[in-house]
């Protein structure tokens, strides 16, 4: 019951002031050739001071929404392994509320290795869903669409 109350409080706080606060995360989407028909697609989040962006993997007692990345199907591209996170992960724990989070401050790169099935110009597109919080509030989840040239 305590956890349910905490979730409700966070969601209530999240709705307050949303229209006055610009998005504290800016995104940059790039690709770099790393081998024959192999590329690194990099989704870079730059996070304003005081704010946090959450890892794709969260502890059991987390209430933050993990960052989720979806790639649209492309018959010319094969995704190689899982999306890797490059940044300094902070393992946050609030003893009073009994909540934890795996989070990033400042900057984090989400990197997906892709392989082309043929030598061709194409794009990898998709979306990133994420949530940001500071020490006082959490903003509602946001989705950003992207398309990156891979050639």
CATH at residue 73: 2.60.40.1250
Beta bridge partners of 144: 128
Instruction: Please give the torsion angle defined by the CA atoms of residues 56, 25, 29 and 86, in that order, rounded to the nearest 10 degrees.
Output: -40
Segment-wise mean pLDDT, segments of 10 residues, the chain, 151 residues: 41 47 90 96 98 95 92 96 96 86 97 94 97 92 97 84
Name the domain count of the chain.
1
Strand ranges across the sheet with 99-104: 90-94, 99-104, 52-54, 132-133
Give residue 102's domain range.
2-150
Start-to-end CA span in the chain (Å)? 52
The H or E element spanning position 8 is helix 2-15
Position 2 scores a pLDDT of 41
Buried b (16+ CB within 10 A) or exposed e, 88-98: eeeebeeeeee
pLDDT at 115: 96
> Whole-structure pTM over 0.85, yes or no?
no
pLDDT value at position 9?
43
């Amino acid at each position: 019951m305590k956890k349910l109350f905490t979730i409700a409080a966070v969601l209530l706080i999240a709705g307050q002031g949303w229209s006055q606060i610009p998005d504290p995360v800016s995104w940059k989407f790039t690709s770099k050739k790393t081998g024959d028909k192999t590329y690194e697609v990099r989704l870079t989040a730059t996070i304003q001071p005081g704010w946090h962006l959450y890892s794709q993997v969260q502890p059991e007692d987390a209430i933050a929404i993990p960052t989720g990345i979806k790639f649209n199907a492309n018959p010319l591209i094969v995704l190689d392994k899982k999306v890797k996170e490059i940044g300094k992960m902070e393992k946050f724990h609030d003893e009073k509320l009994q909540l934890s989070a795996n989070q990033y401050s400042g900057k984090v790169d989400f990197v997906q290795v892709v392989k082309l099935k043929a030598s061709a110009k194409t794009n990898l597109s998709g979306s990133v869903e994420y949530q940001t919080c500071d020490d006082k509030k959490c903003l509602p989840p946001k989705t950003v669409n992207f398309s990156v040239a891979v050639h």
